[in-house]
Chain A
Amino acid sequence: MTGIADSARTSASAALLDIRDLHVNVAGQQVLRGISLAIGAGEVHAIMGPNGSGKSTLAHVLAGRPGYEIISGSVSFDGRDLLALAPEQRARAGLFLGFQYPVEIPGVNNAYLLKAALNAARRERSLAELDAFEFLAMVRAKIKLMQIDESFLSRGVNEGFSGGEKKRNEILQMLVLEPKLALLDETDSGLDIDALKVVANGINTLRGAQHAIVLVTHYQRMLDYVVPDFVHVLARGRIVRSGDRTLALELEKRGYDWVSGQAAA
């Protein structure tokens, strides 16, 4: 294991998410080249990097998206072999992927999806399913927090939503599901400053001892509002530097060439 990878580890004795030497190919090309990262409950990590560095690939591999070939390595999540689980099992186990480009599903309304997703997660935790009344009461407060009009519940999933509305909807789903680990893939992209604050406020609401958050982002501006405990820089499929929040500020000043150049050296 490299020193860089070691430095990416947290001090958590039993990490919620423990990625070890993960190598992944896409269409025969190696995209992740030995990622090791441990994330403890209650921690907020930011994964930054230039375009094509493998940030989104990492998020999608963890969520179980088809089309990625795991060459080697392991990932444990809450004590389970994450890579052995189907995507829906990962979600029910408490892993949430906030999509960079949330899809539109006309014909499936938001309320139906939220309720079905929530009840699937509750069944997994041996909790009673919420009935329509309980669900509505719970979701209303979260809708308000995300400054979404209540009429959206009866609309198709992301149907006709602006980019910002889609991202707010992603965070709403996260708040409803209360995952153990939220992987937010460029949730800040395409947001104006007001929407960014709303989204950041939603993310901070989840923050707590029971939940870990991973912000995958290209820019550091989101980190002004959701302050990470750890920052990792990904370049060419490897974590090339890890540090605290100041690393993101330094990247902002010096650009990705600074760390990419070091990685290539």
Chain B
Amino acid sequence: MVASMLPAAAQPRSATLERILGDYQAVASSLPDAPLTHDARLHAMRELTRIGWPKASDEHWRYTNLRAFEAVTAFGPAALVRASGAAPAPVPLPVPELPPMLPGFERLVYVDGVRYPAAASAAAGRNATDWPAEQRFGLLCEMFASDAATLSVRGSAAIEVLFLTSAAAAGAACYPRLHVTLEPGSELQLVERHLGAPDAPTLVCANIEVELGRGSQLVHYRLQQCGLQTAFADTLCARLADESSYSVRQVAIGAASARTSARVRLAGRGAALSWQAIAVGRGQQVHDTALKVEHLAAGTRTEEVFRGIADERARIAFSGHIHIAASAPGSDTRQSLRGLIEAPGAEVDLRPRLEINTDEVKAQHGATTGALDENLMFYLLARGIDRDSARALLKWAFLGDVLRAIGLPEVRRAAEHGAAGQLPDVMAIGALT
């Protein structure tokens, strides 16, 4: 049935894509009509077939560890696979231990991409979103997602959404989804956290869609702390109306391989994005972020800060593409990308890219990769701090720009502990006080 609906292949399909299509065919009739309509799922499937599975030779995917995603044995959603094709089954108890509640926050929990405890989905089936080739993992989530956290905010709110991957999902896939809409003038503090450590290779493939109304403000804390058997992909699309502001504080420390594909459109006059992110990798972890920001209206602003540390044989990549359209005079962009390579086998790849099609633009950008600053090191040594402790302190300070920008103390602490957990020498000196 599925095969007959596919466009003629322009080129041979990869084995991975064939498996995805096969898995889709196996579960298609059981997938619910929400959060996406069946037509939307079919559209996504056709698009993925047309675009194809990414290759390492594609510019947008060259730093992604595609092998980790290709190693996934079953692309069908874990909740469906468990129910053998019936309606999505709730996860068997117990769910992974939950972190403490955040004071003043409402909490939503999704286990293996499905609301827990089970609740009637308020979301109607959505039509397809057009994900560009660099965000094609978004299509995968469109095909398979069986639930979504849908947040429509009018006024002021504080919401935490926990996406947990249970042990029962091991060897399969989870498709978390988050739809956020802020009415004009509304404010939301949103914590999005991905947790869980299944003991076999598992795919977590999340889509996040954000729509900010005029003058609204979203502060979005994103913590990715998945286990080391997880191949994690998140695809984010945000559109900002006039005078709205979007602050993202992203901490990526988990997963064997992680890929963030984000696109933020500053569509309204005076819209502002502040994207501050860290990634810390060790072992053979790969963290790859591709962020595209489009300035489409006058007086729009972007602040982009990235700090990445790669130790042992880890690879950290950040591509920051800022496009300023002819319709966006008076845009202001600041981009600061810095990477720290901690071991001879580690790698950090930073790719700033600024594309300006109008006059009257303020643009600052800088990208540096290397070792710790010797002047700072000498200062600490000259105070009697031993070399190992000095290194640890400076590594911690390196991440400080972003960690200190996390305004919520509880989230900042969680982020700090998560990041320090990746840096044993930082833990050893007790820099976390």
Contacts and interface: CB of A to CB of B under 8 A. Distances in A.
7 contacts: A92-B384, A99-B379, A103-B375, A105-B394, A107-B401, A112-B433, A177-B384
B397 A156 contact: yes
A100 to B, nearest CB: 12
A184 to B, nearest CB: 13
A86 B384 contact: no
Given A102-B379, A112-B433, A113-B380, A107 B385 contact: no
B382 interface: yes
B221 interface: no
A108 interface: yes
B400 A86 contact: no
Nearest to A113: B383
B404 A86 contact: no
A52 interface: no
Contact of A66 (B374, B386, B389): B374
B400 A88 contact: no
B236 interface: no
Contacts of A107: 396-401, 403-404
A173 B403 CA distance: 27
Contact of A88 (B385, B394, B431): B385
Interface string A114-131: 001100110010000000
Of B382, B400, B429, most A-chain CB atoms within 10 Å = B382
A156 B403 CA distance: 13
A196 interface: no
Interface in A42-66: 63-66
A91 B397 contact: no
Given A105-B376, A112-B433, A116-B389, A64 B397 contact: no
A91 B384 contact: yes
Contacts of B379: 99, 102-103, 105
Given A106-B397, A107-B398, A117 B375 contact: no
A199 interface: no
Given A102-B379, A112-B431, A117-B383, 15 more contacts: A64-B381, A86-B387, A87-B382, A88-B382, A99-B379, A105-B393, A105-B394, A106-B400, A106-B401, A107-B396, A107-B403, A112-B393, A113-B380, A113-B393, A173-B383
Of B375, B399, B401, most A-chain CB atoms within 10 Å = B375
B378 interface: yes
Contacts of B399: 107
Interface in B206-254: none
A103 B401 contact: no
A74 B172 CA distance: 68
B296 to A, nearest CB: 34
A97 interface: yes
Contact of A97 (B382, B390, B393, B431): B382
A120 B400 CA distance: 24
Given A88-B386, A103-B376, A116-B389, A108 B397 contact: yes
Contacts of A112: 393, 431, 433
The 10 tightest CB contacts between A and B, nearest first, are: A107-B400, A107-B397, A91-B384, A87-B381, A117-B383, A120-B384, A92-B384, A88-B381, A103-B379, A108-B397
A116 B385 contact: yes
A253 to B, nearest CB: 35
B376 A120 contact: no
Contacts of A102: 379
Nearest to A88: B381
Interface in A63-107: 63-66, 86-88, 90-92, 96-97, 99, 102-103, 105-107
Contact of A91 (B382, B398, B429, B431): B382
A253 B121 CA distance: 87
A108 B372 CA distance: 14
B382 A63 contact: yes
B52 to A, nearest CB: 43
Nearest to B431: A112
B397 A105 contact: yes
A108 B396 contact: yes
A63 B379 CA distance: 10
Contacts of B404: 106-107
Interface in B362-416: 374-376, 378-387, 389-390, 393-394, 396-401, 403-404
Contacts of A173: 383
Contacts of B386: 88, 120
Contacts of B401: 106-107
Nearest to A95: B382
A86 B381 contact: yes
B263 to A, nearest CB: 30
A116 B381 CA distance: 11
Contacts of B390: 88
Nearest to B400: A107
A156 B400 contact: yes
Contacts of A103: 375-376, 379
